[in-house]
Structure 1
Amino acid sequence: MPKLKTRKAAAKRFRATGSGKIMRRKAFKSHLLEHKSADRKRNLGKMALVDERDADNVRGMLPYL
């Protein structure tokens, strides 16, 4: 059986927690930050969990996660 390939684009965007859940970064923190409040920007910097409905899709892209 050949080795499975990892989707490198997904590998750069997701990582697993110790319990096996998948973490992601939040959107809307790359530019146009001047009018966003400090609270909002601080919250956007935190990691978020991938929704359980999307987790299987991400796991398919990351077979060794």
Structure 2
Amino acid sequence: MPKLKIKKSVADRFKVSKNGIVMRRKMGARHLRSNKSSSNKRRDKIPVEVKGQWAKKIKKLLGV
């Protein structure tokens, strides 16, 4: 059976930790940040866990 190709767009957006947890970045952290508070901007840097069925789908697309 041939090796599965991973979906590059998914690989750029999501990371899988060594424990198998799928992580993503929060949206809205690229531009138009001048009207956001410092605490909100800080919070946007922290990766968030993807849960449930989405995590399964992403792992499948990443070949994990």
Instruction: Give the TM-score, by structure 1 length.
Output: 0.90
CA RMSD of aligned residues (A): 0.9
Query: Is there any run of 5+ residues in structure 1 with no aligned partner, and where?
Result: none
Does 2:33 correspond to 1:5? no
- Opposite residue 30 of structure 2, the aligned amino acid is S
Aligned length: 64
**Residue 61 (structure 2) aligns with:** 61
Moved over 6 A (4+): none
Task: List per-residue Cα deviations over 1:2-21 (Å, max 9, x = no partner).
Answer: 11010001111111112111
Q: For residues 59 and 18 of structure 2, what CA distance do their matches in structure 1 show? A: 15
How far residue 53 of structure 1 moved from its aligned partner, in angstroms, is 2.4
- Higher percent of residues as helix: 2
